[in-house]
């Protein structure tokens, strides 16, 4: 039998109202910011094939050798099915944790498998770290702009996010120092510095080699734990012989950094496997917190990835992803240069995103309905600021559409920008406000 038709939870009684949700008064305070979002609704159009979506951060899985993945899964189920489908360790499969240390070694991290906690995507690691460190009202310092999925976690734990300026070389150490000093003077408790040092989401920038030890040292001096989120680190576009992978922040101070990694971008997000590398005591708490949240990460996913890593050329696959994404990055930058003379943008050296600054007065969030009408989608900058600012910016993702579609998308976007610019100039508005309702949470496909 199918689900029941629309019916209110409370019986309709003349003179008595219904909110269609008898639990409305019972929700925790931390859920009050969760709203139905017009933006989220607009993104439902973005999934139609007619729309060029420069919004989604979905990896290009057509580049994955599905036959090999199928063989891996098939072999796993035949040979170790009873283990793969069983509960596992709360900390994660030990063989996979050993392999994770090998993956991290590619970025200069020396680690022990005992200090790795496998999680359901690195998003769960973000949640766990925030859960064990952040009380309501505590401060999390993060780049401006910052990853929307992290902001959602910090909001859920009622943290107060304070943004720190970034430039083309990533987080600005002087701004970080000034912010932490000011917060200390105000008596605020700063618990975490959240940062994406490589191929930033959404900024597309990379923290320079020179700044890395400075950032770690400033955090250490202020007694602030660094939460280093690095899902894109292996997806750099430069020739690795000329520009080797940048050392992780973790490598400068393993006791002061919790490092988050993920297989979502280097292999596939559907497995939902990420990890945290943490100092011993922190790791203990992360494991306990994870067990209380999910008991254990999926054995099926973990063993699939472990088998893939041990039997397939995963480095070759990462290299092939790098080439695909570099071609798309180039297509995006060429198209922007050709069609968007009024805007500026970052030049990512890896990863999935470029960050576009629109002409003065434009509001990317207010402009989104026009873009959807023109069959192109992006994520407005406001998604990436905890305080709802960032109207003038947009994030463009180049990871999923082909170079030809990217070019067409940017061309459509340029028409949208020109039409909106014309309108804003005509009405003399400064894009100071926006009419779109709701917390800007674009959803998993767009994060």
**Considering the complex, what minimum distance in angstroms separates the CB of residue 439 from another protein?**
9
Looking only at residues 336 through 375 of this chain, which bind another protein when binding is defined by CB under 8 A?
366-370, 372-373, 375
In this structure, what token pair is assigned to residue 401? Answer: 């559409």
- Which stretches of 57-133 are assigned E, i.e. beta strand? 116-120
**Considering the complex, what minimum distance in angstroms separates the CB of residue 172 from another protein?**
32
20 binds another protein per the rule CB under 8 A: yes
**Considering the complex, what minimum distance in angstroms separates the CB of residue 18 from another protein?**
5
In this structure, what token pair is assigned to residue 63? Answer: 């580049």
| Binding residue for another protein, selected from 85, 360, 437, 444, defined by CB under 8 A | 437
435 binds another protein per the rule CB under 8 A: yes
Please state, in angstroms and rounded to a whole number, the distance separating the CA atoms of residues 72 and 79: 10
In this structure, what token pair is assigned to residue 430? Answer: 């400064």
Distances (CA, A) of 360 to 67, 299, 363, 364, 413: 49, 51, 9, 11, 17
Q: Which residues have CB under 8 Å from 421's CB, separation 6+?
A: 342, 359, 361, 362
Please state, in angstroms and rounded to a whole number, the distance separating the CA atoms of residues 168 and 144: 12
44 binds another protein per the rule CB under 8 A: yes
Mapped onto helix, strand or coil, the DSSP state of residue 92 is: coil
Q: Could you tell me if 365 and 442 are in contact, meaning their C-beta atoms sit under 8 angstroms apart? A: no
Q: Which is nearer to another protein, 160 or 374 (by Cβ)?
A: 374
Q: Which is nearer to another protein, 279 or 369 (by Cβ)?
A: 369
Stretch that binds another protein, among 33-41, 79-87, 230-238, 242-250 (CB under 8 A): 33-41
Q: Which is nearer to another protein, 4 or 241 (by Cβ)?
A: 4
Q: What is the 3-state secondary structure (H, E, C) of 366-434?
A: HHHHHHHHCCEECEEHHHHCCCCCCCCEEEEECCCCCHHHHHHHHHHHHHHHHHHHHHHHHHCCCCCCC
**Considering the complex, what minimum distance in angstroms separates the CB of residue 431 from another protein?**
8
18 binds another protein per the rule CB under 8 A: yes
| Binding residue for another protein, selected from 30, 33, 48, 347, defined by CB under 8 A | 48
86 binds another protein per the rule CB under 8 A: no
Q: Could you tell me if 235 and 318 are in contact, meaning their C-beta atoms sit under 8 angstroms apart? A: yes
| Binding residue for another protein, selected from 33, 41, 75, 337, defined by CB under 8 A | 41
Q: Give the CA diameter of the chain.
A: 76
| Binding residue for another protein, selected from 420, 441, 446, 447, defined by CB under 8 A | 420
50 binds another protein per the rule CB under 8 A: yes
* Interface size with another protein, residues (CB under 8 A): 51
**Considering the complex, what minimum distance in angstroms separates the CB of residue 420 from another protein?**
7
Stretch that binds another protein, among 41-49, 68-76, 128-136, 235-243 (CB under 8 A): 41-49
Q: Which is nearer to another protein, 179 or 434 (by Cβ)?
A: 434
Q: Which is nearer to another protein, 14 or 187 (by Cβ)?
A: 14
28 binds another protein per the rule CB under 8 A: no
**Residue 145: is the preceding peptide bond cis (ω within 30°)?**
yes
Strand partners, 301: none
37 binds another protein per the rule CB under 8 A: yes
383 binds another protein per the rule CB under 8 A: no
Distances (CA, A) of 422 to 40, 394, 426: 26, 18, 6
- Rg over alpha carbons for the chain, rounded to the nearest Å, is 23
**Considering the complex, what minimum distance in angstroms separates the CB of residue 148 from another protein?**
19
108 binds another protein per the rule CB under 8 A: no
352: closest CA among 307, 317, 395, 412?
Answer: 395
Q: Which stretches of the chain bind another protein, using CB under 8 A?
A: 1-8, 12, 14-21, 24, 35-38, 40-42, 44-45, 48, 50-51, 366-370, 372-373, 375, 420, 423-424, 426-429, 432-435, 437-438
């Amino acid at each position: 039998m199918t689900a029941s038709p629309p019916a209110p939870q409370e019986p309709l009684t003349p003179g008595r109202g219904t909110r269609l949700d008898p639990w409305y008064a019972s929700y925790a305070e931390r859920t009050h910011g969760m709203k139905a979002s017009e933006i989220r609704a607009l993104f439902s159009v973005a999934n139609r094939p007619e729309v060029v979506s420069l919004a989604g951060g979905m990896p290009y899985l057509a580049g994955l050798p599905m036959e090999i993945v199928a063989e891996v899964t098939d072999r796993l189920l035949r040979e170790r099915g009873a283990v793969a489908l069983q509960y596992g360790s709360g900390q994660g499969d030990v063989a996979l944790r050993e392999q994770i240390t090998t993956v991290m070694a590619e970025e200069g991290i020396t680690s022990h498998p005992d200090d790795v906690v496998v999680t359901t995507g690195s998003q769960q690691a973000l949640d766990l770290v925030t859960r064990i460190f952040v009380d309501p009202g505590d401060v999390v310092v993060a780049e401006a702009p910052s990853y929307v999925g992290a902001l959602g976690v910090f909001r859920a734990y009622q943290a107060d996010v304070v943004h720190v300026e970034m430039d083309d070389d990533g987080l600005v150490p002087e701004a970080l120092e000034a912010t932490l000093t000011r917060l200390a003077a105000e008596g605020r408790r700063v618990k975490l510095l959240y940062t994406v040092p490589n191929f930033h989401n959404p900024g597309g920038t990379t923290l320079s080699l020179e700044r890395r030890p400075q950032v770690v040292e400033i955090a250490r001096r202020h007694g602030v734990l660094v939460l280093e989120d690095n899902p894109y680190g292996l997806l750099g576009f430069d020739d690795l012989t000329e520009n080797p992978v940048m050392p992780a922040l973790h490598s400068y101070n393993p006791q002061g950094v919790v490092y988050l990694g993920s297989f979502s971008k280097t292999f596939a997000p559907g497995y939902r496997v990420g990890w945290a590398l943490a100092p011993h005591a922190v790791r203990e708490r992360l494991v306990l917190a994870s067990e209380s949240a999910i008991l254990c990460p999926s054995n099926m996913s973990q063993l699939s990835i472990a088998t893939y890593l041990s039997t397939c050329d995963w480095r070759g696959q990462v290299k092939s992803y790098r080439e695909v994404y570099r071609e798309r990055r180039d297509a995006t930058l060429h198209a922007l240069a050709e069609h968007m003379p009024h805007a500026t943008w970052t030049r990512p050296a890896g990863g999935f995103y470029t960050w576009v600054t629109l002409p003065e007065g434009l509001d990317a969030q207010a402009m989104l309905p026009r873009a959807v009408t023109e069959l192109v989608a992006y994520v407005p900058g406001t998604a990436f600021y905890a305080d709802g600012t960032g109207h003038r910016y947009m994030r463009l993702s180049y990871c999923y559409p082909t170079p030809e579609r990217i070019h067409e998308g940017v061309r459509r976007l340029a028409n949208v920008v020109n039409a909106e610019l014309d309108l804003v100039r005509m009405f003399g508005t400064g894009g100071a406000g926006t009419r779109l309702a709701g917390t800007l949470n674009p959803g998993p496909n767009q994060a």
